[in-house]
Amino acid sequence: MGITMQICRMNYNDLSDNGRKAKFHCYGVGIFDVFSGQDPYVNKSECSYIEKSAIPPGQYWIVDRPVGSIANQVRGTALDMIHGTNHSQWFGLYPIDFKMHRDGKGANPREHRELCDRGE
């Protein structure tokens, strides 16, 4: 029996009204609102070479989101109540080749760095 891989793509051009969530399209499954990156790099794929920025382009496995320690679970529950989120519905992405691509390979990192530094 072989492994079937779900084909998904991130659409950074299709954002929520406040620009905080991008659309993650999984063909045959659905479209999911996802968070990608932390301020000031939220949903800016050209900044993906920076730690805690948007998810770099690539292929990923969809995995259960780790729940962490009891302290982390309590913290997550508190944040859910404050922000109106639900961490139990979140999922994780793990790169198929087991590496995070934050070095700009396959792209022009200098060009991306200039765009990101200008805040575009």
Evaluate if pTM is beyond 0.85. Answer: no
| CA dihedral of 77, 79, 84, 89, whole degrees rounded to 10 | -50
- CA contacts within 13 A on the Cβ side of 12: 15
Whole-number pLDDT of residue 82 = 94
What pLDDT is stored for residue 81 in this prediction? 94
pLDDT, averaged per 10 consecutive residues of the chain (120 residues), comes to 65 82 84 84 83 78 80 90 84 68 44 51
Residue carrying the six token digits 């991130």: 10
Beta bridge partners of 60: 95
Q: What is the pLDDT of residue 120?
A: 52
What residues does each domain of the chain span?
A: 8-117
Q: Alpha-carbon distance 118 to 110, whole Å? A: 12
**C-alpha–C-alpha distance, residues 22 and 78, integer Å:** 24
Q: What are the residues facing 56 on neighbouring strands? A: none
